[in-house]
Structure 1
């Protein structure tokens, strides 16, 4: 599959409970900044009239689709990639970055009804180096970091150790500007592709030589390159590349703007989880190119930690392409509470491929393994059977390919 990467955030994100500190969105927030570095302004604009919500982050569960702790019903949603190609909901996978347009979200129940889901990847290309001990690899000239929450496609047995040099992979993730690396939320093996894909910050633009760099990758463009956005140092761009380099450079066949944010109007509610990729101040920054005006926001942990590369959760509304924040929350990547409780991921679905000897089954395309430590609710291990509707919470195995169940609960059909 080949898709856009959307938000940049550091980990796949836990299937979180809706936090009690989240407040209703305030009407009459400040007018949207025309650019991230904008200064003061009058709070005279009326509230956004739109009744839709916008959510961006990594998929942390299914049943239907769970993003940022909200369970979205996707039964009637349009699912598409960044080229506008339609897909079925079954093409969505754990760890994939998505943007969700939905109805107004019920914050108490943590639910919404999705109308549009767009998803994608950060990089599709060849593996140039692998360092299992450091949890890093290089793909298409880009540094990629692996965390305990990185999901590996089950075809990559052993996780990072199963990634071979020169193999073709697709990396879903979020860019950490402070470390100049993509933090992977999902890595998939690909058999073949007609074009490589890359998203990142354009640097070292040489208009005479018609070259620029994304990370360590040298990119060349020519008269045949489709330029859908202006080329400028610091711009976030999305590239389609030929698969054979010429004189050490990759030839771009298309260059597009690479910012997150669906260009389909304003949204009365918005919540994004991601890393700060551009920063002017704690009240004027960007998350993957999506400008944030936080002048009227409440900072739960204070504004001091809102810096370049910080992992944040921002709530507010989107108006004129700007996220006007009402809440800014710093995500604690070192807090292992939810991880230790087995709450990183949550799956709802039908049991298939039950193997009682191996103590595992399949659920939503992922292998689930249970053990003596698994807690059973409203059913026992002996009652587990193919066709049964269950909810599973758990953490990834050490290699990132299996969900180790900490809790299995029966659900109504």
Structure 2
């Protein structure tokens, strides 16, 4: 891969920013899709560039499990992990445990990233982490089956998706009983919060909590969105969808057993892999809208932060600069379809060749709906768990949407207390 003069200078600066004598660092990485493999490869390149050693700490796949583990490590002020991979909604919750990178990373490198993500990584004026890759929910679909059943474009509304998925599912189940119309993340965890926020927002039901901290979830449009999703379970979606996170949904779609899938951009590269039964037959589009609403995609993504308990903070900061830099983000985009956080990379010809939808869906990524971690501050995790549990109850037919949002309003009011 050709290296520009800017990147050569950047790499040299990072190398000089590490300790004069070689040290060993531990980097916590996720393992969803190709995350772990690409993390190890990036760490190996850093080792070669700096002479330092990087050990990889393999984190749990589920964000809830990962957060719990991180909180244990940080509460104990453990120096075992130097650099943590952080969800975009965690800075406000964990900021006291991370080094302020403001002034320690050149401002030009910070400013090269999407402002909205830098804002999310900044808590009380402190830059808690640097963006590594961003995410937003997208709709995957089988282009061959769309053509087979007479469809020329992806569904624009959830009602259209339901109709199309049902027609394709009915046809395909004549020879494949395991075939599903639509798969998504229906398990009760943070992923369900992301999916359900998209449904609610796309129906015009707002966010769970608005930017001022007001609880807004108890409204008819939000209730209608949850009822619509519940109607899919056992219809166009298998009943088991209420146990799926990202990887089970991807596995079903990639094995050729689903017409549509909601997932993150990382699934694209894997779907084009040699072992994929749907290679060359995948389309990507914005998620559908509800009645009178607009498409909505939840903002996801991961950051890299340096633990205040690290014994090698300078080298750890150098590792964060290296991994979040332009060349590493380009490699991850090409090899794993991980969305860059650096604006300029969205016009990179190599990246667009590997991920044709990056350019056409740029507005989806730049205008994604944030989860309410900002206004709810340290209580966000409780808010998200209450929300996903209420949604799970609707999907499992324990209550309807109207009952769920009313009970959720009461629960969130209790969690809020006098203030977030």
* Superposition TM-score tier, normalisation by shorter sequence: under 0.3
Q: Which has the higher strand share?
A: 1
TM-score, length-scaled by structure 2: 0.24
Structure ranking higher on relative contact order (CA contacts 8 Å, 6+ apart): 2
* TM-score of the superposed pair, with normalisation by structure 1: 0.24
